[in-house]
Structure 1
Amino acid sequence: MKFPLYPTTYLEDWVSEWYIRNGWTNPKDLKATRIARKYRIHLIRKDMPSRYDRFGNYRAIIIDGRCSKEEQREQFYHELCHAIRHTGRQSMMPQAFRELQERDARHFTLYAALPHHMIKEYDLSDKDIISRWANDFRVTEKLCNERYEQIWRRLHTTFITEKY
């Protein structure tokens, strides 16, 4: 089955439109250094937990160098979300708002790592789809599986809702 039509979210559309505007149309275009440079964000790998730092005009994403390359890419997308979509210091904000930002960053990571405009070219009935995505997009199979399940949940929810 070729990739079916399903209702994308606002954030999913936003990420795909943002990528397309920047000419990032295939998985090989998704380079953390290129994306960080475009937004004047320093990309640093250190043996410490990942985070996003901002001091005045200086912005940096720190990626945990102890993790696999695939996990580092996922960390990059998560921290990038904080850099381009969020404001404020999480340590100074109410827990509920911090949780909201973290949930947004988790969804952003799924959509930035496996953007709709790229994955819709794949055949979802391919028994090796998870490993293909992991290989092509250079992320973990765990993240690919999460994205795959998200798509199927949305497809089935939409089908059930439209049926009644």
Structure 2
Amino acid sequence: MFPYYQPTETELLICDLYQTLNINHPHEIDIDLISALWGADIVYYDGRAKSYWEDLGSVIFLNKDDPPEKQRVVFFHELCHIVKHEGHQDVLPGLFVELQETQAYHFMLFASMPYYLLPDPLEMIWSEYIGLLAEEFHVSLEVAAARAEQIIARLDEEYYYHRNDIALTKSKIKIALSVHRFGRKKLSQESEHMLRQLDNQVCSF
């Protein structure tokens, strides 16, 4: 957990709901259990992922041939539409659909890797931390890296209150993301030097 990270109201809601289900470890995040909490059924079929929500019930359709990691991420994306949205996207204005999709993306990151279950990054470089997120929460490295970027954004909001402690954290995340995305060969000499320094440091928060 991050001492200077302030979770959003949506994150806090997710954490409260998960704790009512006695979810205390990442491996206990079960999509069938969570869908039942929201009164939604999961259907695996041959088509593209989608969701329908009505007063009488909700259904999330997942492609049965997708790997489990993708099914998991898509499930949480579609769950956001059921939990937070109204109306059908086929008849909504384009900008409104874009807003819903952005909200669903962030919800997916919150729900697949909830704040209160994030592992302690102490004594770990950030490239290792991203790998740990992917392994423990059963998501891809790309999704884990996106959660790391989301953490940076939240830390930015608290930066001026805890500037010195957060600066090192942000640097480590950004360099780790650069390594993940572009490979070490494309890093600047300055980033290489900073990465070597940070690899030998223990995160001080």
Give the TM-score band, short-chain normalised.
0.7 to 0.9
Q: Which of 123, 126, 141 is matched with 2:124 structurally?
A: 126
- Deviates further, 55-64 or 30-39: 55-64
TM-score, normalised relative to structure 1: 0.86
SS at match of 1:54: strand
Gaps of 5+ in 2: 164-205
Q: How does 1:9-28 map to 2 (within 5 A)?
A: 9-28=8-27
SS at match of 2:158: helix
Q: 1:56 to 1:156 in 2, by over 3 A?
A: closer
Residues 85-124 of structure 1: CA deviation (Å, up to 9, x unaligned): 11111111122222221111111000001100100x3216
State the Cα distance separating 1:22 from its structure 2 match. 2.9
Q: Which AA in structure 1 matches 2:142?
A: K
Q: Which residue of 1 aligns with 2:136?
A: 136
Q: Which AA in structure 1 matches 2:141?
A: E
Q: Taking every aligned residue pair, what percent have the same amino acid on both sides?
A: 28
State the Cα distance separating 1:51 from its structure 2 match. 0.5
> Quick check: which has more Rg, 1 or 2?
2
Q: Distance in 2 between matches of 1:36 and 1:5?
A: 31
Gaps of 5+ in 1: none
TM-score, normalised relative to structure 2: 0.70
Residues 60-79 of structure 1: CA deviation (Å, up to 9, x unaligned): 10112232110110000001
- Deviates further, 142-151 or 124-133: 124-133
Aligned pair count?
Answer: 161
Judge conservation of contact 2:69–2:140 (CA < 8 Å) in 1.
yes
Q: How does 1:51-66 map to 2 (within 5 A)?
A: 51-54=50-53, 57-66=56-65
How large is the RMSD of aligned CA atoms in angstroms?
2.1
Asked if 1:67 is matched to 2:66, the reply is yes
Q: How does 1:1-164 map to 2 (within 5 A)?
A: 3-54=2-53, 57-119=56-118, 121-123=119-121, 126-127=124-125, 128-160=128-160
